[in-house]
Amino acid sequence: MIKQIFTKNAPEAIGCYSQAVQYDKLLFSSGQIPVNPENGEIVSGGIVPQAEQVMENIGAILKEAGTDYRSVLKTTCFLNDMNDFAAFNEVYAKYFTDKPARSCVAVKTLPKNVLCEVEVIAVVK
């Protein structure tokens, strides 16, 4: 059975998708962008504050599902500009200390012209 995950501590889905879905013990998140869930605004200030907001949004979804960053198996990271990789990676490393598998690619444009987006696959405890 597939269970939809929703928390008010992460941005609401603005389309026909869920923040995340759980199937058995696996959790699949939708891509999270740097939207502050309290006011619905894009975080300003560059890649570091945007990456931090993305990680906090992911953390809120993981918590709602009953898991945490240490249970993440795989991340897929999208950057607007690969020149932001080093700064993004510094923020990423603070949250994903167990070093899950990862893909990181630069894309032409992200929703709302943000600088980064991240999705995860995790195990629910």
104 a catalytic residue: yes
Count the neighbouring beta carbons within 10 Å of the beta carbon of residue 89.
14
Given 16, 77, 104, 116, the catalytic residue: 104
Distance CA 75, CA 84 (A): 17
Instruction: Quote the distance between the C-alpha of residue 112 and its chain's center.
Output: 15
Q: Name the nearest CA neighbour of 110 among 120, 122, 102, 118.
A: 118
3-state SS assignment for residue 77: strand
Strands 2-5 and 101-106: unpaired
Q: First-to-last CA distance in the chain? A: 17
Q: What residues are labeled active site? A: 104
